[in-house]
């Protein structure tokens, strides 16, 4: 790898029902697994990204798929430096499955 590449990123997560307990699942339960998405995107992000977002799936919600997207880095888009705002966002877009992205413009 001679040169670092700047590209967009995509990540997905799904909580499969299981009788076994896993320490990876959020303490709030399987319907809150989407809370892991911002951290997954942050781990992949490099500087220079312009936008980030996610789409969540919840089978018992009126709107099965719900999408959030915002300009800025993952930290800025998901308001990770503002606990109350991040918590509200994660509560509004909670889901058993999520797909997230960040965008790098070339």
Region for residue 5 given its phi and psi (left: phi exceeds 0; alpha: psi -120 to 50; beta: otherwise): beta
In 42-66, which positions are buried (b, 16+ CB within 10 angstroms) versus exposed (e)? eebbeeebebbbbbbbbeeeeeeeb
Instruction: Write the pLDDT tens digit of every residue in 30-84.
Output: 788 888 899 888 888 776 678 999 999 998 888 899 999 999 989 999 999 999 9
User: Nearest Cα to 25, choosing from 37, 13, 33?
Assistant: 33
pLDDT of residue 6: 63
Residue 2: pLDDT band (50, 70, 90) is low
């Amino acid at each position: 790898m001679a040169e670092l590449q700047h590209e967009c990123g995509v990540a997905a997560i799904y909580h499969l029902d299981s009788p076994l307990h896993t320490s990876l699942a959020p303490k709030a339960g399987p319907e809150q697994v989407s809370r892991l998405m911002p951290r997954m995107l942050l781990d992949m992000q490099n500087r220079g990204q312009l936008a980030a977002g996610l789409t969540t799936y919840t089978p018992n919600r009126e709107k099965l798929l719900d999408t959030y997207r915002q300009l800025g880095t993952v930290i800025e888009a998901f308001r990770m430096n503002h606990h109350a705002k991040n918590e509200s966002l994660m509560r509004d877009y909670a889901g058993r499955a999520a797909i997230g992205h960040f965008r790098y413009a070339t």
